Amino acid sequence: METISEENVAKAEEFKNEANDFFKNQKYDQAIELYTEAINLNPNIAIYYGNRSFAYLKTECFGYALQDATKALELDKTYIKGYYRRASAYMSLGKFKLALKDYETVYKTRPNDKDAKMKYTECQKIVKVMLFQKAIAVDDEKKPVSDSINLEAMDVEEDYSGPRLDDGEVTETFMLALMEHYKAQKKLHRKFAYKILLDIKKYFSSQQSLVDVEIPENSKFTVCGDIHGQFYDLMNIFELNGLPSIDNPYLFNGDFVDRGSFSVECIFVLFGFKLLYPDHFYMSRGNHESATMNQMYGFEGEVKSKYSGQMAEVFTEVYNWLPLCHCLNGRVLVMHGGLFSEDGVTLEDIRKTDRNRQPPEQGIMCDLLWSDPMPSMGRAPSKRGVGVQFGPDVTESFLSVNNLDYIIRSHEVKPEGYEVAHNGKCITVFSAPNYCDTMGNKGAFITMTGGKMIPKYTTYEAVDHPPVKPMAYANSILSLLAG
């Protein structure tokens, strides 16, 4: 260990204490900056890395959180919180076996600690369930759950007063009624919910991984970013920008669900509009349209609470068919995450990508769902632990190879709801204001016309919602991440 002057030791402690205050006030980015200052002055203190790891967990930078927790443990193998933090990072990345190893270390060190025992036991259950599922899964023989749904056997009770499909079809009247029904916190009958899921699966499975969208010269087109189960903010977007229609087309760019506790309402409204206006309403897959994310961040729990475990499995099958990105007028590529860990990827490569699966940990599909831009040149390991970070030169090269003007992506909270980076060539849009009821950010959407394709930004504040907190349906897995 390097020798640190007394002055730097004292100054580092001041930075750490200041950072702790920011952390308590949920200002995680400022906390990270100050923990970094403390580390720069005195890199020998495990707790600085442990605290910064926790702040990175809060900002979903799971890769950085993992690095910091590991560094903390290199400095002090007895630092129990380091094992907790690293286990949390592994859990967030779906690496449950590695998380279990760290929880086991804590439990063996503190056998009488109730919290340690609970976390170890819960993680053990998850690993056992995963191993069991793996043992019984025979991929080439397993029939899709959706094939076993028998709509004819589902009766609609006489006292059901909610919206009904018109001869099995979504209509404008149905959609208007559905949104009002949801605003009143009522539930769509499972028969109609399943019909929408089966129809949308059939539709998406006929689409390519990259969908080409033609926007007429003077026509308006809207791109929205993450919604994350914030149904009442979704309704506000439609208030501000008009309901979807043939003359008012939309593209929703992934992460429709999870975290917000009205994810079921969001997804059925979006799927309903897709069925109503298939050529004027588009949906890209996000990294949260996956089984592991849904298991952890609330969507699976919400579907089970409002419907059933069987329906949760059908959603997973539908999400596997969501397109990975959209190309607008051959000039703008829209994907949820970002660009690639290798040069030379073409639109044709994306079109040929087999997407009917859970997101892999590397490759084109992974990068489209998980990657993030960075201001410096080149590429760097992802702060999330999945995908890659890419610089302005990577963006410029990709646009040049594919003769595109710019890219639009989502995936990251931004204070103003959007951010323009990489010399105007990489735009982030995030449409969930005051994300998780804590972040204080604005939401935004982008509008453009088909001729000029110049992005215009509309920002808005969060609206009130019923007193159901974000993460209300999150799996017990997630409660493990707090400690």
| β-pair type (325-328, 210-213) | parallel
Burial 358-368 (b: 16+ CB within 10 A, else e): ebeeeebbbbb
Concerning whether 411 is annotated as a catalytic residue, the answer is: no
Helix axis angle, 96-109 to 80-92, nearest 10°: 160
Contact 286, 369 (CB under 8 A): yes
Cβ-contact 252, 241 below 8 angstroms: no
Looking at residue 343, what DSSP letter applies? Answer: T
Catalytic position from the list 288, 411, 422, 465? 288
φ, ψ at 376 (rounded to 5°):
-80, 160
Long-range pairs for 212-215: beta carbons < 8 A, 24 or more residues apart: 212/326, 212/327, 212/330, 213/251, 213/282, 213/326, 213/327, 213/328, 213/329, 214/329, 214/450, 215/249, 215/328, 215/329, 215/448, 215/449, 215/450, 215/453
3-state secondary structure 396-412: HHHHHHHCCCEEEECCC
- Active centre residues (catalytic): 288
